[in-house]
Amino acid sequence: MIGYESELIEKVNRLKKERKAVILAHNYQVPEVQDVSDFVGDSLELSLKAARTDAEVIVFCGVHFMAETAAILCPGKKVLMPDINSGCPMADMITANDVRAMKSAHPGAIVVCYVNTSAEVKAESDICCTSSNAVKVVQSVPSEKDIIFIPDKHLGKFVEEQAGRKMILFDGYCPSHVRMMSEELHRVKGAFRDAPVLAHPETPAEISGEADHVLSTSGILRVAHELSASTIIVGTEPGIIHRLKKENPEKTFVPACQWCNCANMKMNTLEKIFWALEDLSNEVVVPEKIRLKARHAVDRMLAIAP
Ligand code: CIZ
Ligand code: SF4
């Protein structure tokens, strides 16, 4: 490790103690950010960690909706982002007004929102879900009810198939996962013939349809550990490969896509973590009225699929 980086890590660790802070990093973060963090996980795992810690400050290394979800679950704690501009383009595709318009076009429908949404959109929704519990959440809705599923159409289509249920889908998508192409997947599969493919449900059907397992990031980490295969093809944002390798040093992980990095996830750096801790800057605050309504949607999810 270069001297500058190890000095920075020392400073971050010292400030973290002084500020009674905890650093949380999403599975897609750059390696040095994952390594300086107290916990690495998916957005819900991290928000639940945030709610359970007695730290006063949470530095959330992910994208904006994730820090908001932590703020929704942890009133009274300061939630900071290393870079306040790291947003999720998929979450930004839908506004609270769009949800209100869909609800008036489909009166009585239950709105299930993917966690990749703003607090305002969650506040307009009935139940939240993540990629690991979306099927269970949808199956919990009484069969006579229509379901509006927002914002990811690819996750929506996957859930429709798994739950055996048609839904009203919004036209959103993840710009990183839709860059995954079948030609590239076929090339990688050809080069590693016995390797199973683990893909995220944000990938289009032509990718997820060819996967051996379609899973959230936490699911990919769990199944990669369980599988006996020595080489595994990973169909999601390649940032996850750092943790996969760390936890399974004897296995080889091959990305299904070389150009599917999420630029927003990569905006967080060690320097920005240090600055946020030093200045207690970039706080994410959710207005109380919105927070309570959004919390209701998250709590309904936790009651169905903790
Ligand atoms: O919920 C998350 O962390 C996201 C966005 C993806 C996943 O599958 O973990
Ligand atoms: Fe959003 Fe996709 Fe980036 Fe996740 S990988 S934060 S869904 S743009």
DSSP states along 203-242: S-HHHHTT-SEE--HHHHHHHHHH---SEEEEES-TTHHH
61 and 41 both lie in a single domain: yes
Backbone φ, ψ for residue 37 (5° rounding)? -85, 155
Question: Domain check: are 77 and 20 in the same one?
Answer: yes
185, 228: one domain: yes
Please check whether residues 71 and 109 belong to one and the same domain: no
Q: Does residue 18 lie within any of the structural domains?
A: yes
pLDDT of 1: 65
Let me know whether 28 and 70 are in one domain: yes
Rounded Cα gap, residues 227 and 306, in angstroms: 25
Same domain, 19 and 80: yes
The answer to whether residue 260 sits within a structural domain is no
Domain assignment present for residue 185? The answer is yes
Examine residue 242 and state whether it is found in any structural domain, yes or no: yes
Residue 212: how many other CB atoms lie within 10 Å: 15
- Domain encompassing residue 48: 2-86+265-285
For the chain, how many structural domains are there in total? Answer: 3
| Amino acid making up residue 189 | K
Task: Verify that 202 and 236 share a domain, yes or no.
Answer: yes
Q: Which residues line ligand 1 (CB under 6 A)?
A: 26, 42-44, 115-116, 130-131, 200, 216-218
Nearest ligand to residue 152 Cα:
2
- Same domain, residue pair 97 and 138: yes
What CATH number is associated with residue 68?
A: 3.40.50.10800
| DSSP secondary structure letter of residue 104 | H
Reduce the DSSP state of residue 186 to 3 states and report it: helix
Burial class of residue 259 (count of CB atoms within 10 Å of its CB; 0-12, 13-18, 19+): exposed
State how far the Cα of 202 lies from the Cα of 176, in Å rounded to an integer.
9
- CB of 237 closer than 6 angstroms to any ligand 2 atom: yes
Pair 76, 42 in one domain:
yes
In a domain, 74, yes or no: yes
Tokens describing residue 178: 């839709």
Residue 16 lies in a domain: yes
Q: Which ligand is closest in space to the CA of residue 268? A: 2
87 pocket-lining for ligand 2 (C-beta < 6 Å): no
- Are both 193 and 66 inside the same structural domain? no
AA letter at 184: E
Is 164 part of a structural domain of the chain? yes
pLDDT by residue for the chain (306 residues), tens digit each? 678 899 999 999 999 999 999 999 999 999 999 999 999 999 999 999 999 999 999 999 999 999 999 999 999 999 999 999 999 999 999 999 999 999 999 999 999 999 999 999 999 999 999 999 999 999 999 999 999 999 999 999 999 999 999 999 999 999 999 999 999 999 999 999 999 999 999 999 999 999 999 999 999 999 999 999 999 999 999 999 999 999 999 999 999 998 999 999 999 999 999 999 999 999 999 999 999 999 999 999 999 987
- The answer on 124 and 156 residing in a single domain is yes
pLDDT at 203: 98
Ligand 2 atom closest to the Cα of residue 264 is: 3
Q: What is the pLDDT of residue 231?
A: 98
Chain centre to alpha carbon of residue 39: 14
- Domain presence at residue 218: yes
Same domain, 44 and 116: no
What's the pLDDT at 144?
97
Q: What is the pLDDT of residue 305?
A: 85
